Structure 1
Amino acid sequence: MVTYQYRCPACGDVDVRRPMGEASTQLSCPRCGAGARRVFTGPHTRLVAPGLVAALDTAGASAENPQLVTSVPTAAGPPRRPAHPLHARLPRP
């Protein structure tokens, strides 16, 4: 279900939930019955998780202004021990 917004001349903005693609350009106002015209608005992006917004912003900034690497990264240090003791017996590449 999608929320569509209509504007009634008497009541103001009215939200109506309908299946996607089944919204008409005019609707009788559910409050007063007057003719309400559909208002085309942007998507409700405020419902997006903050972590996803940050990741999208970082990806967009990287596409336009990538950070340059000036040196080879250093080694991470000695290999970590496996969390499970039996994993230590597995063959290593």
Structure 2
Amino acid sequence: MPSYSFRCIEGCEFDAMYSMSEVPRQTDCKVCGRAAKRTVTAPHLSATGSSAFQLVDRAARTAHEPDVVSRLPGQGRKPQRFTSNPLHAKLPRS
């Protein structure tokens, strides 16, 4: 069910849920009781399929469900001493 924003003359703002066929142009303010008109707002579009949303979801999930690992990070790999990128050869050496 869609959520609609309303604002009264006193400046109170609130959201209310109505079906699309029954949404009024104005209703009583939930805060002060005066007439409140429906305001134009941006639609709340879902981004659940985007990679950014999936990244946020994975980060939130790992906060309370951390991954189980079989070894410490960095073990089992040989450290790479030399880079294969020719541009790195131009960097200053310490």
Report the TM-score when normalising by structure 2: 0.46
Which has the larger share of strand?
Answer: 1
Which has the larger share of helix?
Answer: 1
Report the TM-score when normalising by structure 1: 0.47
